Amino acid sequence: MPSFSQLPHAAQLDLLERLARAALTERYGLDGAAVRMEVQRYEDNAVWRVTPPGRGSFMARLSLRDGRPAHQQRSEMRWLESLVVSRTVTVPEPVTTTDGHYVVPVEVPGHDEPSTLALLHWLPGTAEPPYRQPGVAQEMGRATAHLHEHAATVPLPEFDRPVWDAETILLEGHALTDPGAQEQLGVQGAAALRKVAELITPALQEGSQDDRGRIHGDLHRENMIAMVGGRVGIIDFDDCGVGHPLLDIATVLSSIHRIARTEKGAYETFAHAFLTGYTQVRPLPTDTARLLEPYLLLRDAVILNFVTTAAPVNADVASWGPRRIAGIVAHMQAYLEGCPYPGTLSSEQS
């Protein structure tokens, strides 16, 4: 039998869906054969919308590679439960198994890494809020700030998640430490990333542990949901961890800049409204105007780590990954030549 990684993309998904259906039946008390399963994404996780007959929908996430150990996923679920109770920002509510577990192991034939399944209630709404509509940018800012305010004021003593900082993302990141990743970046791209890491690490290390806390870790526009009534919800906490809140802020801004940059003034208008919404809930982090640019660069280093890890083993990522690498490398080279990094704001705008 071929290893799991040798199977075509469609065959992998077919196998994973069969395994997920079995787990839904055995562990969650659902009729796995009867549910409708709609693929939402298959990169490092396989994600489906699961709809049983006559019931509301769920989100099933089968983690395959680069997935967090089960105890770290349980920390993620505990944070989500705490956020649900707080009612300050709308997030998916975890579903436990019939015997009370957040995460269940799933054995994937031919796959030598631990795999796990988690189930959450589906968050109704529309992914990628229409950021140009009046009030939406402010609500995106308010949702981000509520997330950070909860992290700063509601303790979770057993929160055990990755640390997202200059050391883990840049100095120890896949893009700078793996020979295969270096090949994908190219000689000039790898050199640019090393120089960027050298230049921005001191700024990223500023502040104390009091400036760090629980963060989403991947708060791009597609992980925000436009809800009925105008509120914005947040999904996909798979990369949540401990870090500086500016990484979340930079991630939102960077994701909007990518689609708004061709329309004069559109990004700046969004950024101003987003940051205004944030400050309606809590103050911006200290020195946001100066530190935003290094965190925008750090966000793109996160993307490089992900793409260089996933592209060799995932056909979907391989279809767009090289273009994304080339674009980020070009931006970093321009930054090293003195150009502001994409998404950077003037002190007046921030």
Q: How confident is the model at residue 346 (pLDDT cuts 50, 70, 90)?
A: confident
Report the pLDDT value the prediction gives residue 56, as an integer from 0 to 100: 92
User: Cα–Cα distance between 91 and 83 in angstroms, integer?
Assistant: 7
Instruction: Please check the confidence at residue 118 and state whether its pLDDT lies above 80.
Output: yes
Q: Who has greater pLDDT, 44 or 63?
A: 63
| Average pLDDT, integer, range 127-143 | 96
Provide the pLDDT confidence category of residue 69 given band limits of 50, 70 and 90.
confident
Residue 193, H or E segment: helix 179-204
Q: At CA 267, angle to CA 261 and CA 271, rounded to 5? A: 150
Burial of residue 98, with CB atoms counted within 10 A of its CB: 0-12 exposed, 13-18 middle, 19 or more buried: exposed
Q: What pLDDT shows up at residue 65?
A: 66
Q: What is the pLDDT of residue 66?
A: 59
Region 220-240: mean pLDDT is 95
Is 4-121's fold the same as 127-336's? no
Going through the chain in order, the beta strands assigned E by DSSP cover: 36-42, 45-51, 58-63, 94-95, 103-106, 115-121, 126-127, 163-164, 213-215, 224-226, 232-234, 241-243
Mean pLDDT of all residues in 266-294: 97
Phi and psi dihedrals of 71, rounded to 5? -65, -30
What average pLDDT does this structure show over 82-108? 96
Domain ranges of the chain: 4-121, 127-336
Q: What is the mean pLDDT of residues 114-133?
A: 94
For 129, 166, 256, 334, 348, the CA distances from 263, given in Å and listed in that order, are 18, 32, 12, 21, 20
* pLDDT given at position 347: 62
Instruction: Report the pLDDT value the prediction gives residue 85, as an integer from 0 to 100.
Output: 97
Two structure tokens written together for 210? 């009091």
pLDDT digits (tens, 9 = 90+) for 8-19: 989 999 999 999
pLDDT at 350: 59
- Cα distance between residue 221 and residue 127, in whole Å: 8
Tokens 């396989």 found at: 46
User: 114 vs 23, which has greater pLDDT?
Assistant: 23
pLDDT value for 349:
59
CATH number of 127-336: 3.90.1200.10
Average pLDDT over the chain, rounded to whole? 95
Q: Which CATH class is domain 4-121?
A: alpha beta
Rounded to a whole number of angstroms, the CA Rg of the chain reads 20
- pLDDT at 67 > cutoff 70: no
pLDDT tens digits, 245-275: 999 999 999 999 999 999 999 999 999 999 9
